[in-house]
Structure 1
Amino acid sequence: MKQRIITGVIAGAAFITLIVIGNLPFALLMIALATIAMHELLKMKRITPLSVKGLSGMVFMWLLLLPENMVSFHWIHLERLELFLLLIIVLLALTVITKNKFTFDEAGFVILASAYVGLGFHYFMYARFLENGLAMIFFILILVWATDSGAYFAGRSFGKHKLWPEISPKKTIEGSLGGTLLALIIGGVYTLFIPVFASWSVTFLFMLVVSLTGQLGDLVESAFKRHYAVKDSGQVLPGHGGILDRFDSLIFVMPVIYLLGFL
C-alpha cells in the first residue's frame, strides 16, 4: 500500500503538472504513454514489439495519435485516414505473403489495438489544445476519478448484485450507481466554480456520458486481460499496474465525447 501511495502521488503530480504546462511537453507525455500502452497490448497478444507485426502496430497507432501540427502527410498527397487504410491493405496482403505466419487474427488485433490506443490519446491531446482545454481536461479527469472512487467505496459498502461477473467479478451494480452518483455530485460542484458548458442540461448529459462510458472502458480492458489471462497490463507503475490499467477509462471516453459533439 505504501508503494502504491508513493507511486500515485509522484506520478499524479507529474501528470497534472504537464497537463497545466501543455504544448510540446504535454504532447510528448501523451506520445510516451500511448507507446507504452500499445507495447502492453502487444505483449498481451504475445507479439514482440520490435517484430514486423509489433512495429506495424506502433506505426498504425502513431498515425492515429499524432496531431496535425506535429506531422503532415500532404507531401505524399494522402490524408491520414487514407494512409491508414492503405496500411490496412498492406497488413492483409502480408497474411498471404507470409503464408499465414502473420495471421488474419493478428492483423485484426494490430488494427483494433492501434485504433483503441491511438484515437484515445489523440482526442485527449485534442481536448487539451481547445480554447477551454485546461478546464475541460480537468473536468473529465475529475469525473473519471470520482466514478472510480465512488464505485469502489459504494461497491464495498453496499455491493450485492454483480454487474458483469464473467468480465469483472468484483464489480457490482450498486458500485456502478454509486460511482455515477459521486461523479454527478463532484462534477456539479466543479462546474459551479469553473463552468465548461453554457447549459446545465448539456453539463448533466456530459457528466452522465463520461461516467458511464468510463465504466464501460474499464470493463473493456478487463475483458482484454481476462481473454489473454493477465492480471495487470504491465508493471510500469509499481502498485498500480500498467498504463492501460490507469488510462483504460479515459481513452475510451475521449473518442465517445468527440463523436457526440462535446469537444
Structure 2
Amino acid sequence: MNDSSWGSPPTADLWGQPDQGAGPAGPAYDEPAAQQTRPMPIVPDGPARGGGQDDDRGAARAGGPVFRDEIAQEPMPAPPPPPQKKRAGRDLRAAIGVGVGLGVVVVASLFIVKAAFVGVVAVAVVVGLWELTSRLDEKKGIKAPLVPLAVGGAAMVVAGYVRGVEGAWVAMALTALAVLVWRMTEQPEGYLRDVTAGVFAAFYVPFLATFVALMLTADDGARRVLMFLLLTVVSDTGAYAVGWRFGTHKLAPRISPGKTREGLLGAVVFAMVAGALCMQFLINDGVWWQGLLLGIAVAASATLGDLGESMIKRDLGIKDMGTLLPGHGGIMDRLDSLLPTAPVVWLLLVIFVGSG
C-alpha cells in the first residue's frame, strides 16, 4: 500500500504552488482543492520566544505559573519539639524529708523498745482506716463504721504481738462481729454494702499489718522487721529509678499508667540484691540464696499491693488517699506495698529459719 491510499495531498513548494514534479502525470492540479485540504498551521497560545531557541526548553506548562516567583512553595515542616526532660510527679524534697523522718521514728522505736514499735504500727493502722473509710464515704456514700474498725484494728495488732497467730485471728473475728452489730444502730438501707466494706477494711489494713507484729516476736524480730522494711523500700526505689530512666513498656496502663515492665524488672533486681545481703548478714541462720527468693517475692507482692490500691483509688476517682504526708499523700499511700508484703515475708522467714 502506497502513500496515496491514505489520501495524502500533493506536496507544495515553499511559495504555496503545487510541485509539478511531485506525483504522476495527469490532469492539471486543482489549486483551490489543494488550498482546502492544506493543513492549518499551529498557532501558539502565547507569544513566541525570541532568539531562535527551542520553544519547549523552559516553556511553562498549561495552566501553570509563568514566573519563578509564582511557583507554589510547599510549607516547610515545623521543627520537632525539643525532648522534654522527665520529671517526677511529686515534690521529691518533701517526699525524701518525710521518708527520712518516718524512717528515724520507725528504727528508733524498733530497736529501743519493741512495745513502742507496736504502738507505732497501731497508730498507723488507725490513721489508715480513717483515710480509707473517709474516702469511701465521700466518693461512694459507703459508711463503713470507723469506731469498731479503729478499736478492733489496734487490738488486732496488739493481740498478734502478745498471742501470736491465734490472737490475730480471734481479734479479726471479733472486729468483724463488732462491725455487723455497730451498723445495726442505723437504718437498714445500705446495711450489706456498709458492713461488707467494713469487713474488707478490717482485713486489708489491720489484719495484714498484724504480720509485722508477728515478725517482731522472734528472737531476731527487730532485724526481721528491718529487713522487711528495707526490702519493700528498695523494691519501690528500684522500680521508680529504673522505670523513670528506661521505662517504655506499660505494665498495667488501665490501672497505673506510670508503672512499666522495666520498672518491675528494676524492683526484682534491687530486691534480690538487698535480700541476699540481708539474709546473709542480718538474719540468724539465713543464707544468701534464700534472700534471692525473698527478694523476688517481695518485688511481686509490693507491686501487686501498689496496683491493688491504685485500683481502689481509680474506682473512687482520687489520686491519693490523704494529704497527711507531704510528697507522699496519706498513710495508706505508704502502706499500699507494705501491707501485702508483710505476710509474704513472715511466711518465708518461718519456712527458711523458723518462727523463733
Give per-residue Cα distances to partners, 1:26-85, cap 9 Å, x unaligned.
1111111110011111012117xxx8822232244234322256689xxxxx97645644
Give the whole-Å Cα distance in 1 for the aligned partners of 2:282 and 2:173. 41
| Structure 2: unaligned runs, 5 residues or longer | 1-90
Match of 1:53 in 2: 145
Matched, 1:120 2:212: no
Change (3 A) 1:187 1:46: same
SS at match of 2:137: coil
Match of 1:224 in 2: 312
Matched, 1:159 2:247: yes
Match of 2:281 in 1: 193
Give per-residue Cα distances to partners, 1:91-114, cap 9 Å, x unaligned.
557777755334212111100111
Matched, 1:178 2:266: yes
Q: Which moved more, 1:59-68 or 1:181-190?
A: 59-68
SS at match of 1:169: strand
Structure number with higher relative contact order (C-alpha < 8 Å, ≥ 6 residues apart)? 1
Give the whole-Å Cα distance in 1 for the aligned partners of 2:154 and 2:188. 25
Task: Please tell me whether the aligned partners of residues 247 and 262 of structure 2 are also in contact (alpha carbons under 8 angstroms).
Answer: yes
Amino acid at match of 2:230: I
Give the whole-Å Cα distance in 1 for the aligned partners of 2:235 and 2:144. 39
Give the whole-Å Cα distance in 2 for the aligned partners of 1:226 and 1:188. 35
Give the whole-Å Cα distance in 1 for the aligned partners of 2:281 and 2:174. 47
Give the whole-Å Cα distance in 1 for the aligned partners of 2:176 and 2:282. 43
Instruction: Tell which structure's C-alpha radius of gyration is larger.
Output: 2
Q: TM-score, normalised by structure 2?
A: 0.64
Match of 1:44 in 2: 135
Cα shift at 1:151: 0.6
Match of 1:9 in 2: 100
Task: Please tell me whether the aligned partners of residues 275 and 288 of structure 2 are also in contact (alpha carbons under 8 angstroms).
Answer: no
Give the whole-Å Cα distance in 2 for the aligned partners of 1:257 and 1:5. 25
SS at match of 2:334: helix
Match of 1:20 in 2: 111
After superposition, residues 123-142 of structure 1 pair within 5 angstroms as 123-142=211-230
Task: Please tell me whether the aligned partners of residues 148 and 178 of structure 2 are also in contact (alpha carbons under 8 angstroms).
Answer: no
SS at match of 2:327: coil
Cα shift at 1:195: 4.0
Match of 1:205 in 2: 293
Amino acid at match of 2:234: A
Match of 1:75 in 2: none
Amino acid at match of 1:256: V
SS at match of 2:124: helix
Task: Please tell me whether the aligned partners of residues 160 and 211 of structure 2 are also in contact (alpha carbons under 8 angstroms).
Answer: no
Match of 1:34 in 2: 125
Give per-residue Cα distances to partners, 1:107-155, cap 9 Å, x unaligned.
1110011111112221112212311112211211121111111111111
| Structure 1: unaligned runs, 5 residues or longer | 73-77
Task: Please tell me whether the aligned partners of residues 60 and 111 of structure 1 are also in contact (alpha carbons under 8 angstroms).
Answer: no
Instruction: Give the aligned CA root-mean-square deviation in angstroms.
Output: 2.8
Matched, 1:143 2:231: yes
SS at match of 2:210: helix
Q: Which moved more, 1:84-93 or 1:219-228?
A: 84-93
Instruction: Give percent identity, aligned residues only.
Output: 27
Change (3 A) 1:138 1:52: closer
Amino acid at match of 1:186: A
